[in-house]
Amino acid sequence: MGQQSISTPWWRDRVVYQVYPRSFQDSNGDGIGDLPGIRTRLDYLDALGVGLIWLSPVFASPMHDNGYDISDYRAVAPEFGTLSDLDGLIADARKRDIGVLLDLVVNHTSDEHQWFRSARSGRDAPFRDFYIWRDPAPDGGLPNGVRSTFGGPAWTLDPETGQYYFHQFSPQQPDLNWANPALRSEIYAMMNWWLDRGIAGFRMDVIDLIGKDPDTGITANGPNLHPYLQEMHRQTLAGRDVVTVGETWSATPDTGLLYSGADRNELSMVFQFEHVTAQWHPEYGKWQPRPFDLIALKQAFNRWQEALAEDGWNALFWGNHDLPRAVSKYGDDGEYRVESAKMLATVLHLMKGTPFIYQGEELGMTNTRFDAIGKFRDIETHNMYREHVAAGLSPDAFLAGANENGRDTSRTPMHWDASETAGFTTATPWIGVNANAAEINAQAARADTGSVWWHYRQLIGLRREHPIIVEGCYSPLLAEDPQIFAYERRHDGSRLVVIANFTGEQVTRTLPAECRIAGRSLSSNYAPVVSFGSTIDLAPYEVQAVLED
Ligand code: GLC
Ligand code: CA
């Protein structure tokens, strides 16, 4: 697919679009998005210009965690369609030169996977060692104090065999035992089976957890993580021209290069979350949001840009299916929705790395807010509600946090048109549609060249035209400024300077020499400018990008 060279892999001038299948397009009127629905929207993605699709899991699953609990790696969930629908989607996408990345969830399976059904059938069962079992502590209690990400202990007692099994997410998501070579070869065989079907690569779910050591409490970034990734590469990816992105909440600028360094033979890039967690409460995490801190945000991006400047590669994103809507989190989803959504897009897409768009972000979709816990669908939100309310947090305070940072904020149906169910379904959708779909939708956005959609389309196109966007080296500018995000890119004698106002106020500054530039406008969300001189006046959420070549 596309051009290949040692220095620049084929996928680097492409933008990735994440499809959350459950909420993208329903085709058969059951209120749940599906593969035939996605196929009917490929022209939309093609018109936007995306070069790769990351498909959140579509495998067979009881859907306790919306597909991140897989019961059969080689089958498609019936509510999403059939294997032939998936093959058809991959083929249809390929005709448009769009590659499909599947979501590889191999830290754990569903407890309904046949491996786990077998494993729990007896201590000597053939697949027992595919999972992690420990005897109760001498007092009969938990083997140790490791906690699950979704609340409660990471150990659940299996009464039949009298041992606990380990799960970093819900009890319905038992962790796989990567220390077992037989498990690892099953995983690699499965990966090869999918790669042979013509996918463009994988997004790898919580891949930094596979090297865990449950006995010492090490979950992320365990001692065997990188040996496993290198083995996986040798057994599956080596010799194939594919792209991989690992989800690694634990990655830091110090460990980033271990995953994506050229001589490492592990992954193409990883999602790091330092810009996300920098906005969380130190003690209560995302459920108790704190005021936006631009300096912390910039430091996170700048450190990663620096760490992967010469080697390795960044994955760039504002949102995904686990995170709030970008414009609600980092911009203004009211008065300056359009301006701030465009500003965020420009700042992200002109950094060095691969930009990822979460479905609906290109429309400037906003957080969906629910007024009662019963309207949320997400397992994590429900578990955490019980845990936090039991610990004394008021239900209203929890709902406020869930509406700001919870996972359902961004999982509601895609807005295709102004109809009651936003063109997503003819039935009752599995989760409520955002009330602003009548105003914010694809049909309206495509009809208005001043929309957020057209701005994304332009940015995606620029990337294919200007090597400086893909390859230029990055330097932060105005790093200490609490209101402005600015940086410079340099490549082959050209310079690009991006200056963005992250606030809803007018901002005026005297610019240091390194910010000044004269050339042409590459991207802006107000009247374009062609130079930056000694002072600058920025309107609310204004962004300007000037290229000198
Ligand atoms: C990842 C997924 C998330 C899922 C979790 C467990 O973080 O993005 O949606 O719940 O892994 O698989
Ligand atoms: Ca459906």
Mean pLDDT value of segment 342-348: 99
Q: What is the pLDDT of residue 146?
A: 98
Q: CA 533, CA 419: separation in Å to the nearest integer?
A: 47
Residue with CA closest to ligand 1 atom 2: 205
- Residue 40 CA to ligand 1 centre (angstroms): 27
Give phi and psi for 54, each to the nearest 5: -100, 115
Helix runs in 331-451, H state only: 337-349, 379-390, 395-405, 442-446
227 C-alpha to ligand 1 centroid (Å): 23
Q: What is the atom index within ligand 1 of the atom nearest the CA of 379? A: 10
Q: Which residues fall within 8 angstroms of residue 376, CB to CB, at 6 or more apart? A: 370, 382, 385, 402, 406, 408
| pLDDT score recorded for residue 3 | 43
Q: Residue whose CA is closest, atom 6 of ligand 1?
A: 68
Q: Tell me which residue has its CA closest to atom 12 in ligand 1.
A: 68
Which CATH superfamily hosts domain 114-166?
Oligo-1,6-glucosidase; Domain 2 (3.90.400.10)
Query: What tokens were used for 414?
Result: 């895609």
Q: Which of 213, 145, 204, 152 is nearest to 177 (CA)?
A: 213
**Cα–Cα dist 531/536, whole Å:** 10
Mutate to test the pocket of ligand 1, among 167, 168, 173, 205 (most ligand atoms within 8 A of CB): 205
pTM value > 0.85: yes
Expressed in angstroms and rounded, the spacing between residue 86 Cα and the centre of ligand 2 is: 14
Tell me which ligand sits closest to the C-alpha of residue 32. 2
Query: Which tokens go with 541?
Result: 């959420």
**For the segment 238-277, what is each residue's pLDDT rounded down to a tens digit?**
999 999 999 999 999 999 999 999 999 999 999 999 999 9
Per the annotation, the verdict on 514 as an active-site residue is: no
H or E, element range at 116? helix 114-119
174 alpha carbon, closest ligand:
1
Ligand nearest to the CA of 248: 1
How is the chain split into domains, by residue range? 10-107+181-456, 114-166, 473-548
What is the per-residue pLDDT across 190-216, written as a single tens digit (0 to 9) for each? 999 999 999 999 999 999 999 999 999
The residue whose CA is least distant from atom 7 of ligand 1 is 206
Separation of alpha carbons 442 and 452, rounded Å:
10
170/174 Cα distance (integer angstroms): 8
Between CA 11 and CA 16 the distance in angstroms is: 9
> Can 247 be counted among the known catalytic residues?
yes
As for ligand 1, residues whose beta carbon falls within 6 Å of it are: 65, 68, 105, 169, 205-206, 247, 321-322
CA 191 to chain centre: 20
Q: Which residues contact 449 (CB under 8 A, 6 or more apart)?
A: none
Distance 418 CA to ligand 1 centre (A): 31
Catalytic residue among 247, 322, 332, 362: 247
Q: Reduced to 3 DSSP states, what percent helix, strand and coil does the chain have, rounded to the nearest 5?
A: 35, 20, 50
Residue 290's pLDDT is 82
Task: Specify the pLDDT at position 2.
Answer: 42
Residue 413 has a pLDDT of 99
Task: Provide the 8-state DSSP code for 278.
Answer: T
Q: Report the separation in Å between the CA atom of 156 and the middle of ligand 1, taken as the mean of its atom positions.
A: 19
- pLDDT value at residue 7: 67
Ligand 1 centre distance from Cα of residue 336 (Å): 31
Residue 307 is predicted with a pLDDT of: 98
Residue whose CA is closest, atom 9 of ligand 1?
322
Region 312-334: mean pLDDT is 98
Average pLDDT for the chain: 97
Index of the ligand 1 atom closest to the CA of residue 322: 9
Q: Give 304-308 contacts, CB < 8 A, sequence gap 24+.
A: 304/253, 304/256, 304/272, 304/274, 305/351, 305/352, 305/353, 305/474, 305/476, 305/487, 306/253, 306/474, 307/253, 307/254, 307/256, 307/257, 308/256, 308/257, 308/260, 308/352, 308/353
4 pLDDT more than 60: no
Closest CA to ligand 1's atom 4: 68
Grade residue 6 by pLDDT with cuts at 50, 70 and 90: low
Residue to probe by mutation, ligand 1, list 204, 206, 408, most atoms within 8 Å of CB: 206
Residue 105 CA: which ligand is closest?
A: 1
Specify the ligand 1 atom closest to the Cα of 65: 10
Integer-rounded Cα Rg, in Å, for the chain is: 23
- pLDDT (tens digit, 9 = 90+) per residue, 448-482? 999 999 999 999 999 999 999 999 999 999 999 99
The answer regarding whether domain 10-107+181-456 maps to CATH 3.20.20.80 reads yes
The residue whose CB lies within 8 Å of the most ligand 1 atoms, and thus the one to mutate among 249, 322, 377, 405, is 322
Please tell me the distance between residue 205's alpha carbon and the centre of ligand 1 in angstroms.
6
Please name the amino acid found at residue 68: Y
Cα angle value 496/500/501 (rounded, 5°) = 165
What single-letter DSSP state applies at residue 374? G
Q: Confidence band (pLDDT; 50, 70, 90) for 300? A: very high
Pocket test for ligand 1, best of 55, 61, 63, 68 (most atoms within 8 A of CB): 68
- Domain covering 473-548, topology: Immunoglobulin-like (2.60.40)
Supply the pLDDT for residue 238.
97
Read off the amino acid at residue 516: R
Interval 33-48 mean pLDDT: 99
The minimum-distance atom of ligand 1 relative to the CA of 407 is 9
Dist. CA 247 → ligand 1 center (Å): 9
Which residue in 205, 333, 339, 362 is the catalytic one? Answer: 205
Looking at the CA of 81, name the nearest ligand.
2
**Region of residue 176 (left: phi > 0; alpha: psi -120 to 50; beta: else):** beta
- 112-166 pLDDT, tens digit each: 999 999 999 999 999 999 999 999 999 999 999 999 999 999 999 999 999 999 9
Tokens for 501, please give them.
């106002």
Average pLDDT over residues 53-57: 99
* Helix, strand, or coil (residue 329): helix
The atom of ligand 1 lying closest to the CA of 169 is 6
Say whether 473-548 and 114-166 share the same fold.
no
How many angstroms separate the alpha carbon of residue 300 from the centre of ligand 1?
22
Residue 336: predicted pLDDT: 98
Residues 6+ away with beta carbon under 8 Å from 166: 131, 132, 133, 134, 146, 154, 155, 174, 175, 214
